[in-house]
Amino acid sequence: MNPIGSINPLAASALTRIDAPLPAGGLTSLGGTAATPTEGFGKVLDNLVAVVDGKQASAQDVTRQVLLGDSGQLHQSVIAMQEASVAFSMMVEVRNKLVDSYQELMRMQV
């Protein structure tokens, strides 16, 4: 199944209009959960960097094992390196968007 996929027609009937008034119970009565932040924004970014670092370290370990002849699974090494590369690229794009957002806020007039 395609991870992006199309909208299920049965699920589309459960969608509400944007300009429809909220029910008395708020968003939780729509089937969603109320957003309660449990971590600070800095903590989330620290976790993102830690995950990317872990993927890079794992890729290096797998590659080292292949180069030393301990493992004959070259495809696992290539997959691990690509996964680490994609994770790093995503982290860089998130950083770029954050910097752009900060610059846009600084350009706003009060």
Q: pLDDT tens for residues 29-49?
A: 444 455 556 778 889 889 999
Best CA proximity match to 89, nearest among 43, 47, 55, 40: 55
Taking a C-beta distance cutoff of 8 angstroms, is the pair 48, 89 a contact? Answer: no
User: Quick check: pTM over 0.85?
Assistant: no
Taking a C-beta distance cutoff of 8 angstroms, is the pair 92, 46 a contact? Answer: no
CA distances from 48 to 9, 18, 29, 40 (A): 35, 32, 32, 13
Per-residue pLDDT tens for 14-25?
444 444 455 554
